[in-house]
Amino acid sequence: MSSLTTVEALRRSESYSHAVLSWVVPGGYPNSVGAPFRSDSAASTVVIGPLADESKPPNGSEVCVTFSHIRPQRGVGYDERRYMNLWGTAERDGENIRLTATRATGWDEAEVPFFEYAERNVPQARSYLASLGANVRLSRFWTFFLATRLPFLTATIAPVALGGAVAARDGAFHWGWFLLTLVGACAVHLGLNIANDVFDDANGADEANVTPTMFSGGSRVIQYGLVSRAAMIRASVAFYAVAAIIGLVLAATRTWDLLWVGIAGVVLSLVYSAPPFRLVHRGLGEPVTALGFGPVMAVGTYLAVARTWSWEPVLASIPVAILVALILYVNQVPDRVGDAAVGKRTLIVRWPKGRVIATYTALATIAFAVVVLNALTDVTPIWTLIAVLPAPLVLKVRRGLRAHYDQPYALMSYMQDNIVLHLATGTLLVVGYVVANLVG
């Protein structure tokens, strides 16, 4: 509930069908009665009635007037949710009660979506549960799922698969080395996701963000009390350790060149959000993401599988590199208020809406131009042209950004489309390689 001016509350009351008048009766119980009303916002008064004498509070008693529009959709929940409480002193006025409002609070989901309303109350929930000696719980699976942000592994799978596909095209594919590389790359990614949450918790960015979505605002497991920051640090270190061991095994058994690629990947993942670098705070999160989840992953996989260097995985991965950076870019749109509050000056924080959307369109166009250019210049097989098929999603995401830039929850489906854009393009690039291998 947010505070409202009484004038504003009474102005809004005109959109409600009835009022609920509550007061405390002798004996200490509250009593409530629903009744017709008319309000005068200029005079800060609301008149409720007609009421029988038995349903009226005594003169001078403090009353609460509630206007509720929690509209049930029978069987399937509620919508158009809004309600207000006004307080004041009751004055009997013939068959009515007149109230001069002195205080008002309210919630309207059209202004504060339910998820934001809930997020703003997280400290209240944690304090209440602590007073009970209880804590929020989820199953181990869902806790792991949330803490690691597991679905975002698609950002790793796409470039790794592409690196493997290029190696297969060169006749050097090996499932064992490929899968081991994939596991190592996923471990870096999960370690990075968790580390990013730890840093955003430490610098207050996640706490300042009251509009997290499925795709933005971090995992929230620390803010909700599901996992402690210390446990998150241990988990992140564990994932990096797994990645380091796999990287060393691959380097020792395949090629020592992998060591430099692995180090580059780990360094990029750390300088992204770790102090003192915190490149994401400096508007450099996108290029770091593009490098790490594009050429570094693809080249690393190619080296691990084919044991030799090639420019092809670098060039072939440019489209997925750009598109993965655009996932981060778009997902930062709903985070921008919280990010700005803690000095996390991402490009989205720095730029106006028009420039953000124009840059999105330009970079996505470049990504698909590279797909075409690579195919037409024989850098990649001609079959990889099928990777342009998801391109229309760019227009959809752009429309979503234009329409819902300031509405995080309405933007969610477009954020999802943007993730699909990356995954579908990466998958079709791999399919293009597979088809090329099959047809020769």
Partner 1 sequence: MSGVLPPEVEKLFDVALVGELTVVSSAGRPIAYPLIPLYDGRYLYLTSAALFSKKLRHIKANPKVCFSLTDPVAIPVEPFARATVQGDAEILEDDPHSGWEELLPLWRKKEPIIDSFVKKRFGIPLFFERSIIRIDPKRALYWPDGRVDVAPQVFELSALRAGGAGVGR
Q: Which residues bind partner 1 (CB under 8 A)?
A: 17-18, 20, 22-24, 27-35, 49-55, 62-64, 66, 68, 70-72, 74-78, 83, 85, 87, 95, 115, 118, 121-122, 124-126, 128-129, 132, 134, 136-138, 142, 145-146, 214, 224, 226
Residue 63 or 397 having the CB closest to partner 1? 63
The secondary structure of 38-93 as a DSSP string is EEETTTTEEEE----GGGSPPTT-EEEEEEEEEEE-TTS-EEEEEEEEEEEEEEEE
Residue 132 or 438 having the CB closest to partner 1? 132
Lookup result for tokens 């009226």: 56
Residue 224 or 351 having the CB closest to partner 1? 224
- Shortest distance in whole angstroms from residue 146 CB to partner 1: 6
- Residue 332 is encoded by which pair of tokens? 């930062």
- Residue 416 is encoded by which pair of tokens? 């999802």
- Shortest distance in whole angstroms from residue 308 CB to partner 1: 44
Distance CA 222, CA 427 (A): 33
Residue 74 or 439 having the CB closest to partner 1? 74
- Shortest distance in whole angstroms from residue 231 CB to partner 1: 16
Lookup result for tokens 């790794």: 160
Classify strands 2-4 and 96-108 as parallel, antiparallel or unpaired. Answer: antiparallel
- Shortest distance in whole angstroms from residue 33 CB to partner 1: 5
Distance CA 283, CA 255 (A): 34
- Shortest distance in whole angstroms from residue 400 CB to partner 1: 21
Q: How far is CA 169 from the centre of its chain?
A: 37
- Shortest distance in whole angstroms from residue 93 CB to partner 1: 14
Residue 6 or 317 having the CB closest to partner 1? 6
Residue 139 or 377 having the CB closest to partner 1? 139
Handedness of CA 328, 330, 334, 338 (dihedral sign): positive
Task: With residue 23 as reference, give the H or E element that holds it.
Answer: strand 19-24
93: left (phi over 0), alpha (psi -120 to 50) or beta: beta
- Shortest distance in whole angstroms from residue 410 CB to partner 1: 17
Residue 15 or 308 having the CB closest to partner 1? 15
- Shortest distance in whole angstroms from residue 208 CB to partner 1: 18
Residue 91 or 170 having the CB closest to partner 1? 91
Distance CA 89, CA 35 (A): 17
Amino acid found at 153: L
CA atoms within 13 A on the CB side of 223: 26
Q: How far is CA 248 from the centre of its chain?
A: 34
Handedness of CA 10, 11, 16, 18 (dihedral sign): positive
